[in-house]
Amino acid sequence: MIYTYFILIFIVGVVNSKTNNRSEYFYLSRKLTIPSFVATIVTTWYGGILEIGRFTYINGFVTWLIFGLFYYIAALIFAFKIGPKLNQSNIKSIPEFFGLKYGIIPKKISAFILILVSSPAPYLMIFSVLITQIFGISSIQSIIFGIFFSIFYIYFGGMKSIIRTDIIQFIFMYLGFFVLLFFLIFKFGGYEFILNNSPPNHLKLTGNLKIGYILSWSLISLITFIDPSIYHRTYSSKDKETVKNGFIISVILWFIFDFLTISVGLYASAIIPSSLLGDTNPYIFLAEEYLPYFLKSLFYIGLLSIVMSTIDSFFFVSSIMLSNDLFNENSKINRYSLLIIGIVSFIIATNFNHVVDVWYIFGSLAASSLLIPFLLLIFKPNRIIKYPIFSMILPLITGLIWFYFEYPFGIDIMYPGLLISGILCMNNNEE
């Protein structure tokens, strides 16, 4: 079944996808409809699925607050206040926004930061866990396979290939988790079982986590505003109503999927002793222990669909920024940008242990440096930051120093960076 899945994705991604039209290849000629918009946004959103399982197993329901509610709010703000403006702006990327207002150096700085943020590295890490579990090959081999499998059909079909595969993966992601949750309810019972068997505080809204840490994730969720994949889909949509309505539908579908994934994670915390789990991911443990062979394969296909839909999207968007924004649009690097992103992602993926660390560190640094300047570009276009390069780099350096010295005074990376960014952007501008 899993071999068949890979063959299906490959065929759908390659056959009749090639185009010589640059606008169609990169942006689907800006004709993205609501069904396609929803399928690609929903699937791309959930690439770190195994990390959600691990985080829920350790921390409980607070996972929904950190990775659910905060992001719903950010997405709805984007849908009503930011997305329609971006769709009508005819500006292809966030770095291009900075370039038009502040020049070539701010454009390249923002491109470099966003390439790191939109790296497929964390999702390749999760892909390697799945492939290692399924086929028994090494983590390094799994990462390399994930890189080249995605690059091949993206290179030939561009966005058309991504949308086609996302529609199939959308179906499998829901089906896989529905099957596992249904079997857990059937075998162990419903909410009463979780209530009586999950660890203390797992069902509390904040769990055992510090309020400061939780609130830092509320700020990290605002990276939705500068997410290159979301910007790319917004620009590619046929009109602003597609963006607005597409996000509303997507938030509803995200809520449903979060219910499935977090419920399964809570079952894992109620069923599996930590001594028995070891290094195995809770989702994988439950599938191996309780699903029949056929349905276990279906669940693995669901997991692969979630991860692979994010890998190819992030590869594509990162390579566009590399070739069009960091380098000149007509540069030869365009043909090799996917491979360069693959190499960078490989380096990142093999030097971190947990996906959430990549999200947290890179997300905090990017938001500190770019969030406030970008929002000023959207909502205060007549304002000019006097020293844009300084205003982008100093918060980034502050965040790196904060990380290097392991969070002085127990303050998370995001806060000092945003504080400095706010001071520089608000005090150094002219009408």
pLDDT of 204 higher than 60: yes
Q: What is the identity of the amino acid at 396?
A: L
What mean pLDDT do residues 265-274 have? Answer: 91
Q: What is the identity of the amino acid at 10?
A: F
Which pLDDT tens digit goes with each residue over 298-310? 999 999 999 999 9
Q: What angle do CA 154, 159, 164 make, to 5 degrees?
A: 90
Asked if residue 62 lies in contact with residue 207, where contact means CB atoms within 8 angstroms, the answer is: yes
Residue 136 lies in a domain: yes
Which pLDDT tens digit goes with each residue over 31-46? 999 999 999 999 988 8
Q: Can you name the residues that pair with 430 across neighbouring β-strands?
A: 384
Q: Return the pLDDT at 266.
A: 94
Residue 411 lies in a domain: no
SS3 sequence, 346-398? HHHHCCCCCHHHHHHHHHHHHHHHHHHHHHHHHHCCCCEECCHHHHHHHHHHH
Which pLDDT tens digit goes with each residue over 92-107? 899 998 998 889 999 9
Please name which of 42, 43, 37, 70 lies closest in space to residue 244, comparing C-alpha atoms: 37
What pTM was computed for the model?
A: 0.89
Residue 123 lies in a domain: yes
Residue 21 CA to residue 155 CA, distance in Å, equals 14
Residue 345 lies in a domain: yes
Residue 140 lies in a domain: yes
Q: Contacts from 21-27 at CB under 8 Å and sequence distance 24+?
A: 24/158, 24/159, 24/160, 25/157, 25/158, 25/159, 25/160, 26/92, 26/158, 26/159, 26/320, 27/92, 27/159, 27/232, 27/235, 27/236
Asked if residue 178 lies in contact with residue 260, where contact means CB atoms within 8 angstroms, the answer is: yes
Q: Return the pLDDT at 428.
A: 56
pLDDT of 430 higher than 70: no
The DSSP 8-state label assigned to residue 242 in this structure reads H
Residue 365 lies in a domain: no
CATH number at residue 168: 1.20.1730.10
pLDDT of 397 higher than 60: yes
Q: Can you name the residues that pair with 384 across neighbouring β-strands?
A: 430
The DSSP 8-state label assigned to residue 198 in this structure reads S
Three-state DSSP class for residue 430: strand
Alpha helix ranges (H) inside 278-371: 282-290, 293-320, 333-349, 355-366
Q: What is the identity of the amino acid at 54?
A: R
The DSSP 8-state label assigned to residue 401 in this structure reads H
Please name which of 426, 410, 409, 406 lies closest in space to residue 418, comparing C-alpha atoms: 426
Residue 412 lies in a domain: no
Lowest mean pLDDT among 5-9, 10-14, 282-286, 405-409: 405-409
Q: Identify which has the larger pLDDT, 186 or 427.
A: 186
Asked if residue 126 lies in contact with residue 51, where contact means CB atoms within 8 angstroms, the answer is: yes
Question: To the nearest whole number, what is the mean pLDDT of the chain?
Answer: 88
Residue 22, C-beta contacts closer than 8 angstroms, at least 6 positions apart = none
Q: Identify which has the larger pLDDT, 276 or 318.
A: 318
Residue 328 Cα to chain centre, angstroms: 26
In angstroms, the Cα distances linking 353 to 115, 199, 358 are 20, 25, 9
The range of the structural domain enclosing residue 346 comes to 2-102+110-351
Q: Return the pLDDT at 234.
A: 94
Burial 351-389 (b: 16+ CB within 10 A, else e): eeeebbebbbbbbbbbbbbbbbbbbbbeeeeeeebeebe
Asked if residue 9 lies in contact with residue 168, where contact means CB atoms within 8 angstroms, the answer is: yes
SS3 sequence, 84-109? HHHHHHCCCCHHHHHHHHHCHHHHHH
Q: Any idea of the CA torsion for 286, 292, 298, 299, to the nearest 10 degrees?
A: -10
Total structural domains within the chain: 1
Q: Can you name the residues that pair with 237 across neighbouring β-strands?
A: 32
Q: Return the pLDDT at 57.
A: 93
Residue 427 lies in a domain: no
Q: Return the pLDDT at 427.
A: 67
